[in-house]
Amino acid sequence: MLKNIVLIRDPDCNIYLLDQEILIDTGTGRHFSEIKKFIEADFNASKIKAIINTHCHYDHTGGDKKFRDWLGADILIHKNDADALENATETTAAALFNVKAKAVTVDRKLANNDTINTKNFSLKVIHTPGHTSGSICLYDKNNNFMITGDTLFADAFGRTDLPTGNEKQMKESLEKILGINPKHIFPGHGNPKSNGIDFLIKQLLNKIS
């Protein structure tokens, strides 16, 4: 892992702690107390000021409310996925987890090219629709890494058959990431990957007509 990026392996989705300041995604919330203990043991939780959701799916956002209540942190998500979160709509895909999503107030709606800065990182919002309409990746140019949510995994791209998913948009989003060609990717599930991201994406693009 890169310095100042901590991967917290929630069984439901990968949670990343960046610079002790930003939490990326929160899992379903089922494992909130274990994750809280883990963070408290090694980090200063009072420094965490924002929770950024890569997209609105329940396995990434179900814990938002618990984490916000604990941390007093703002919740950020792309504007296209904000409604799903704020109104707990079927776009959260909570039904896949046999639960009803809970409405969560969004503090800041993100748009393409917005920037979120921490002590060591400058994260640029890359709008990458396809998995959901408001899916984003976060790119740090200096360290050449990208948080890719469920858009790009170490060996696959995210499914496009859920509400607001779109295969054509997924293709364009993968091409966008290919144009940036980050050295490291940190996906929403599975393992991070370093090097050969361009080769990976070219192979995946062949699978989309």
The residue ranges that bind Zn ion (CB under 5 A) are 57, 150
* Least distance from Zn ion to the Cβ atom of residue 30, Å: 16
| Contact status, residue 138 vs residue 144, Cβ threshold 8 Å | no
The token pair at 179 is 């144009």
Q: What are phi and psi of 97, to 5 degrees?
A: -105, 15
The nearest distance, CB 183 to Zn ion, in angstroms, is 24
**Closer by beta carbon to Zn ion, 21 or else 51:** 51
The three-state secondary structure class of 105 is: coil
CB of 72 to Zn ion, least distance (A): 26
Residue closer to Zn ion by CB (options 20, 134) is: 134
Q: How far is the CB of 119 from Zn ion (least distance, A)?
A: 29
Pick the closer one to Zn ion by CB: 104 or 121: 104
Any residues with CB less than 8 A from the CB of 60 and at least 6 apart, and which?
Answer: 13, 25, 26, 27, 53, 54, 149, 150, 188
What is the nearest approach in angstroms of Zn ion to the Cβ of residue 18? 20
Dist. CA 142–CA 161, nearest whole Å: 34
Residue 138 CB contacts under 8 Å (≥ 6 apart), including other chains: 24, 52, 54, 116, 123, 124, 125, 126, 146, 147
Would you call 206 helix, strand, or coil by DSSP? coil
79: nearest Cα among 61, 102, 53: 53
Taking the least distance from each CB to Zn ion, the nearer of 20 and 164 is 164
Q: With respect to Zn ion, which residue has the nearer C-beta, 70 or 97?
A: 97
CB of 81 to Zn ion, least distance (A): 10
Of the pair 21, 150, the CB lying nearest Zn ion is at: 150
